[in-house]
Amino acid sequence: MKASDLFIRCLEAEGVERIFGVPGEENADTMISLLDSNIEFVLCRHEQAAAFMADAYGRLTGKAGVCLATLGPGAIACVHCENGCLVDHAHADLIRRKPEGTLADWEESHPAEAEALAIQTAIYLAGRAGAHLYIVHLSSADGLEVVRNAKRAGARFTVETTSPYLGLTSDDPIGFLAKMVPPIRDPKNQTALWEGMNDGSIDLVGTDNTSRMRASKRADEGLHCSLPGFPVLGTHLPVLLHFGRQRGMSLDVLVERACSNPAKIYGLYPRKGTIAVGSDADLVVVDLDAERVVDAKYLNGMSDFSPFEGKLLRGWPVATVKGGQVVARDGEIVGPPTGQYLPRYPAQAEVFAGVPQEAITNP
């Protein structure tokens, strides 16, 4: 039985009558499985609207609808926060004003205000639904200000940014190879994100990796026809080490944001995210002074480009240990794949409450 079929059967067994959600390629299997079930799919434009509608449906009818808050304390609402109306208007206006343009112009199509407003909305809806909100890929100073204000007010949620936002700016000569949604922004926004990383307003750092080929990126087709997304797995740690050093981030804080906090939030700690007796022996050995120019052909990915191509980064992994076995050394994979399914357990409530409010400095 496919995972999507099993998921639907479990929902039926719990008496679920409706699923509120946003259709897309990532959940196509689930939607196909729904066709053979008695569960109705209700189309929503945004995930946060879906969560709110499911909750409201249950309150008004007393019948079961799928809302993250009802799936248990281990369920996490990972929300891409941008207000669709503001983005649609800004994008249409940019097409009219600038049929051709630069990576910096792309920032105008996804204004920071759209991110800030969506974050505020998601925080409110998650609070009403009692869901664990996880804000993915925070990109702006405006969004960070909303995050800080909400955490000071006692709101409980998790915030992530990504290594590309910490290592690239919209004036980068790499051009549309660095096109992303939300967009890579100007240096002022990047500085704000590093401040959020250092003071704990931002809980963790991810990648938002998209493994794609240069041809599918279509960077040569310009501002409106090139596609968002880029590969960053191979540069994630070097970017954090290189730019973290420049921004005054200690290794202890970097490890917390990149390793410990993700494991805690997703219910995998202490099996992952720490070095301790009984934990998995997953380790990375780094040379903090190793310097290397980024070249996609040495990153061991399927992609033939990197948004960091040609950049000299200081600080690279020299060995990776997984389960006590060396699986990579000096940029070469030397061990067999040993991945396995890891069951998650509900994170403790304090994990997604953010850092203590007194530890967050004024913006």
What pLDDT, on a 0 to 100 scale, did the predictor assign at position 35?
56
User: Is residue 115 a part of any domain in this protein?
Assistant: yes
Tell me, what amino acid is at 33? S
- Residues 55-112 pLDDT 10s: 555 555 554 444 555 556 667 888 899 998 999 999 999 999 999 999 999 999 999 9
- Residues 103-150 pLDDT 10s: 999 999 999 999 999 999 989 888 877 788 899 999 999 999 999 999
Choose the final residue of a domain: 71, 92, 107: 71
Give 302-305 contacts, CB < 8 A, sequence gap 24+.
302/211, 302/213, 302/231, 303/211, 303/212, 303/213, 303/214, 303/230, 303/231, 304/213, 304/214, 305/177, 305/213, 305/214, 305/217, 305/230, 305/231
User: Is residue 96 a part of any domain in this protein?
Assistant: yes
38 — pLDDT class (breaks 50, 70, 90): low
User: Is residue 202 a part of any domain in this protein?
Assistant: yes
Domain containing residue 40: 1-71
56 and 195 inside one domain: no
216 and 90 inside one domain: yes
User: Is residue 42 a part of any domain in this protein?
Assistant: yes
60 and 91 inside one domain: no
- Residues 156-193 pLDDT 10s: 899 999 999 999 999 999 999 999 999 999 999 999 99
Question: HEC string of 87-120?
Answer: HHHHHHHHHHHCCCCCHHHHHHHCCHHHHHHHHH
- Residues 298-311 pLDDT 10s: 999 999 999 999 99
48 and 95 inside one domain: no
pLDDT at residue 1 greater than cutoff 80: no
Q: Where are the alpha helices (DSSP H) in 130-186?
A: 141-152, 163-167
pLDDT at residue 267 greater than cutoff 60: yes
Mean pLDDT computed over 235-244: 98
What pLDDT, on a 0 to 100 scale, did the predictor assign at position 28?
54
133 and 252 inside one domain: yes
The two three-digit tokens of residue 30, written as one number: 């689930």
In CATH, what number is assigned to the domain containing residue 24?
Answer: 3.40.50.970
pTM value surpassing 0.85: no
Region of poorest pLDDT, from 74-83, 122-131, 251-260, 352-361: 352-361
User: Is residue 26 a part of any domain in this protein?
Assistant: yes
16 and 153 inside one domain: no
What pLDDT, on a 0 to 100 scale, did the predictor assign at position 78?
85
In CATH, what number is assigned to the domain containing residue 211?
Answer: 3.20.20.140
What pLDDT, on a 0 to 100 scale, did the predictor assign at position 71?
59
pLDDT at residue 358 greater than cutoff 50: no
Choose the final residue of a domain: 25, 40, 71: 71
24 and 43 inside one domain: yes
Number of domains in the chain: 2
100 and 2 inside one domain: no
Choose the final residue of a domain: 43, 71, 99: 71
Q: What is the mean pLDDT of the chain?
A: 85
